Amino acid sequence: MARFAPIHLEADTRLHRKHPDVLPSHRRCATCRQIKPLTTDYFYPCRSSHPWQLSSFDTRCKDCILEAAKARRLADKAKYSALSSKSQKAKRSAIKAAGGPEAYAAQQAALVQKLAAARTRKEQLAALRRGLRRKYGPRPDGIKLMIAERSRMYAERRWRSSEEPKEFRRPVQANSDLESIRARHRAELAQRDSERGSA
């Protein structure tokens, strides 16, 4: 049987979330374990999450991320120098293809605006869906709703009808008819037994 660890609640109330739409004011860094304000000054935002989600900020503070990146660069200087020179070469090629630094800057500004508009539309749609789920609950299964509605309709129709249901309309058989049927069945059974014995 699987054992689950108990949920650990932080003693500091600044780390608690008072409302699903409001993030806590502070966060404990997953690396240095220090409590810092949950703002862009101390934590990097995550572009793949929405503002009301706890994952909208990185679990590590900026200082720890920068220190880890610096340690990786120092551990393999040749690799990161090659990557840096490659990125610089790609940037120079992009500037040349755009037609100069001014055209490249205008192109990048237009791209930033386009991405920001797409991000805003995505967040608005996610907020609308979130509000609909809160108001109406999860989307029900249409097939199950149709079956339940038809079952209710036919049940009300049977309840309001003065006629007997079809399963109660069987003709009543007399005892004499039952005896004749049983006698015929006994004769057929005896005949089959005799045929098996002769075979």
Whole-model pTM: value is 0.56
Query: Does residue 189 lie in a domain region?
Result: no
**167-180 per-position pLDDT tens digit:** 555 666 566 677 88
| Residue 93 and residue 50 share a domain | no
| Residue 90 and residue 48 share a domain | no
| Residue 65 and residue 20 share a domain | yes
Task: Determine the Cα–Cα distance for residues 23 and 54; give it in Å rounded to an integer.
Answer: 7
Number of H helices, E strands in the chain: 5, 4
Containing domain of residue 90, as a range? Answer: 76-136
Domain count, the chain: 2
Three-class SS of residue 24?
coil
**73-110 per-position pLDDT tens digit:** 888 888 888 888 888 888 888 888 888 889 889 999 99
**What are the backbone dihedrals phi and psi of residue 139, each rounded to the nearest 5 degrees, phi first?**
-70, 125
| Residue 88 and residue 46 share a domain | no
163-171's contacts with Cβ under 8 Å and 24+ in sequence apart are none
25 Cα distance to chain centroid = 27
| Residue 80 and residue 57 share a domain | no
Pick the last residue of a domain from 136, 164, 180: 136
